[in-house]
Amino acid sequence: MSILIKNALILTQNAKRERFFGDVYIEDQRIVQISKKPLSFEADYKIDGKHKWVLPGLINTHTHIPMTLLRGYGDDMILKQWLENRIWPVEAKLGSASVETGTKLGLLEMISSGTTTFSDMYFFEDTIGETTEKAGVRACLGFPMVDFGMPKYPADELFSECERFLRRWAKNPLITPVIGPHGTYTCGPEILQKTCELSEKYDSMVQIHCSETREEVYDVEKRYGVRPVEQLKKYGLLNDKTLLAHCGWITKSEITDIKTGGASVSHCPVSNMKMATGGYTPVPELLDAGVSVGLGTDGAASHRFRILFLILFTQRLVAMCVRQLCMVFR
Ligand SMILES: [Zn+2]
């Protein structure tokens, strides 16, 4: 399939970060040519780029995509109350059909905002993978793990199911399987230890909520004698394969540990504001230390806005973004 975009404002990611009006020609998901002068390729699809921007695909570094169905469910509550009294009880009743519906809605919102990749963690992640693959969107999907079990299978099958999930999606061109222990306050030592083993065995990335609230930090400290970042370090999970969501209550020495370990951070400011978590992700300090920081929306239930968002500037993703927009507007 080929696409020719004419007269758009092109935001490049070249060394000078140039912006100019011009044409873009794409063939089989690859950008063939970007030009300030008019291009005259015969393309399958021609798009008038007037009053439009062409920019790299955006990446949402932390979300729970089916939660589009729970948007607005539970306001003015702190995270613990919100999770325990509203979210977890209703999530226990969700099946794969509702997860598929929520995923489709989330995908539509992401595609319409130019988001071409997202990092997720939720129940029925196979269903999310199948739905995402059909939409042609790229995703890192985290197999969820918590101490209190999953709705789909018994607790004693948790790790074997995780391995099955990692194997199933290992070679998929769009879906990257990831291990998703929920957090150090919801996952005990056994899950953290096993996550480390599976991550090494399958060379898999790990994403986990970390130091989102002060209560979480105190809770982990009380139970295990260390703060969440230290707990992750203890179980071999503070490395360059780990993505930490939130980090709103971390110290300067923890920033150093995150940097030394090589982990990355997903900053979810709107979610933190909605849940009034009090702390804030020390983005300038993390960036100064050389830590990679991306933006995430978190689930739609813990923020008020449509899923948009950020980062990543590669030509391949630009092409994907354009292709998605073509599918939407066709
Ligand atoms: Zn989250």
Q: Which domain holds residue 323?
A: 2-56+314-329
CATH number, position 180: 3.20.20.140
User: Does residue 49 sit in the same domain as residue 180?
Assistant: no
Q: Which two tokens stand for residue 304?
A: 């008020």
CA–CA gap between residue 10 and residue 168 (Å, rounded): 38
User: Does residue 195 sit in the same domain as residue 133?
Assistant: yes
Average pLDDT per consecutive 10 residues, the chain (330 residues; last block may be shorter): 96 91 94 95 95 93 93 80 85 90 95 94 95 97 88 82 97 97 96 98 97 95 98 98 97 97 94 82 96 92 52 40 43
| Phi-psi map region of 104: left, alpha, beta (phi>0 left; psi -120 to 50 alpha) | alpha
Please tell me the predicted confidence (pLDDT) of residue 303: 66
Residues with CB under 5 A from ligand 1 (ion): 298
Cα(243) to centroid(ligand 1), Å: 12
User: Does residue 11 sit in the same domain as residue 102?
Assistant: no
Judge whether 53 and 111 are in contact, CB under 8 Å: no
Please tell me the predicted confidence (pLDDT) of residue 321: 42
User: Does residue 95 sit in the same domain as residue 162?
Assistant: yes
CATH number, position 20: 2.30.40.10
User: Does residue 39 sit in the same domain as residue 70?
Assistant: no
* Residue 190 within a domain: yes
Please tell me the predicted confidence (pLDDT) of residue 203: 97
Cα(287) to centroid(ligand 1), Å: 21
The residues facing 139 across adjacent strands are 118, 175
Distance from the Cα of residue 217 to its chain's centroid: 23
User: Does residue 279 sit in the same domain as residue 324?
Assistant: no
User: Does residue 105 sit in the same domain as residue 240?
Assistant: yes
What is the number of domains present in the chain? 2
Cα(12) to centroid(ligand 1), Å: 31
Please tell me the predicted confidence (pLDDT) of residue 151: 66
Q: What angle do CA 76, 100, 131 make, to 5 degrees?
A: 125
User: Does residue 162 sit in the same domain as residue 226?
Assistant: yes
* Residue 289 within a domain: yes
| Phi-psi map region of 153: left, alpha, beta (phi>0 left; psi -120 to 50 alpha) | beta
* Residue 320 within a domain: yes
* Residue 308 within a domain: no
User: Does residue 276 sit in the same domain as residue 322?
Assistant: no
Cα(325) to centroid(ligand 1), Å: 27
Residue 35: which of 24, 49, 48 has the closest Cα? Answer: 24
User: Does residue 116 sit in the same domain as residue 200?
Assistant: yes
Query: Which secondary structure element, helix H or strand E, spans residue 110, and what is its range?
Result: helix 96-113
Judge whether 8 and 54 are in contact, CB under 8 Å: yes
Cα(244) to centroid(ligand 1), Å: 10
